[in-house]
Amino acid sequence: MSQAIPLLEINDLAVRYPSGSILSRLAGGPREVTILPGTSLHIAPGETLGLIGESGSGKTTLGRAAVGLAPISGGTIRIGEEATSMQGGATWDRMRRDVGLMFQDPVAALDPRMRIGTSVTEPLVIHRMLNGDRRAKAVELLAQVGLGEEFADRFPHEVSGGQARRATVARALALDPSLVIADEPTAGLDLSVQGELLNLLNDLQARLGISFLLITHNLAVARHVTDRIAIMYLGRIVETGPSTEIFARPAHPYTRALLGARRKGGISTPIKGEVPSLTSRPKGCEFHTRCPLVADRCRTEAPSLRSLGGKHIVACHFAEAVMAGAAAQSKKPTTTGPDLEVST
């Protein structure tokens, strides 16, 4: 893995949305809700970073904010040579040219009224970068993802879910990006098709040297394709490090709970306790209301992110104890859930 200057660098990013509930506003509730309270993240050239967390933890918001598609209220973002803060205006346009986007909703990603060839080349038209024949370019992009020429002329409803998802990958590659942001790229696909898609992403990373920000709540997906993972809770990164290290020795109780939820026969068991409201974040460690290891200190003192050696970074007062417990637990035989068919 390259130790070069990060390709993507996000520092202290804050995102606020207007508060959704009219009732809450009428009752004098907050007018705004802070989703990302000052979040930092980086991705090295050629690296695949997995962003993991429960639903609502802010993964999609972070992915969208990285390209200026969320209401940024503070912090800085740099992609390659281009850097911006707040509402970057024309800078976003230049930054987005270096990023391929695969957003969560595959139906929205491919316009049902457009032939697939037209959809996959659309980013080139938007950025005025289409040189030469549009269909020929579509065929070239579709070939990169293992789809034949005939797919250029088909409509999304005429192809399978896996083929449609490949087409969204082709579209993400249109601008020849250094970074692809893929939000839940395998959601809704059968296990074997998920495996094929992940093999494709692995292959593209190896062949084209693209970096990926892979947003998923599926730990099996993260395990197979990421170099490093970052765990998000209430819009903050609470643990990050090499995937192999985090899966073997998670150091945050939240990460450990996420991994434990997967171990139980593959059936996702929710983590105990309610996710706190983003408009009234708990004092101290924000996970303390659900943490099985909570101590007095956790209720008053917010843990900072600190290094456990190498690239393993965590925000927990008792990380060493959690890690030791996880290491002991991993030696016991466990039942594992259905896995993916991914070549290594």
Ligand X SMILES: Nc1ncnc2c1ncn2[C@@H]1O[C@H](COP(=O)(O)OP(=O)(O)OP(=O)(O)O)[C@@H](O)[C@H]1O
- Least separation in angstroms between residue 238's CB and ligand X is 13
Pair 71, 16: CB distance under 8 Å = yes
Quick note: the x/- pattern for ligand X over 182-221, rule CB under 6 A, is: -----------------------------------x----
Pair 245, 323: CB distance under 8 Å = no
Quick note: the x/- pattern for ligand X over 277-316, rule CB under 6 A, is: -x--------------------------------------
Per CB under 6 A, the segment of 57-65, 206-214, 238-246, 250-258 that binds ligand X is 57-65
Per CB under 6 A, the segment of 55-63, 146-154, 192-200, 221-229 that binds ligand X is 55-63
Tell whether residue 109 is a contact of ligand X (CB under 6 A). no
Tell whether residue 58 is a contact of ligand X (CB under 6 A). yes
**Cβ-based nearer residue to ligand X, 59 or 97:** 59
Pair 33, 17: CB distance under 8 Å = yes
Cα–Cα distances in angstroms (integers) from residue 51 to residues 31, 118, 121, 127, in the given order: 28, 31, 28, 28
Tell whether residue 41 is a contact of ligand X (CB under 6 A). no
- Least separation in angstroms between residue 45's CB and ligand X is 25
Q: If you count DSSP H runs as helices and E runs as strands, how many of each does the chain have, helices first?
A: 13, 12
Task: Measure the CA–CA gap between 258 and 246, rounded to whole angstroms.
Answer: 11
Tell whether residue 16 is a contact of ligand X (CB under 6 A). no
Tell whether residue 35 is a contact of ligand X (CB under 6 A). yes
Per CB under 6 A, the segment of 58-66, 84-92, 111-119, 251-259 that binds ligand X is 58-66
E strands along 53-134, which residues? 72-79, 82-85, 99-102
* Pair of tokens at residue 246: 């985090």
Cα–Cα distances in angstroms (integers) from residue 61 to residues 64, 234, 304, 316, 318, in the given order: 5, 11, 22, 24, 29
- Least separation in angstroms between residue 171's CB and ligand X is 20
Cα–Cα distances in angstroms (integers) from residue 133 to residues 61, 121, 124, 125, 138, in the given order: 36, 10, 12, 12, 9
Contact residues: ligand X, CB under 6 A = 17, 20, 35, 53, 55-61, 217, 278
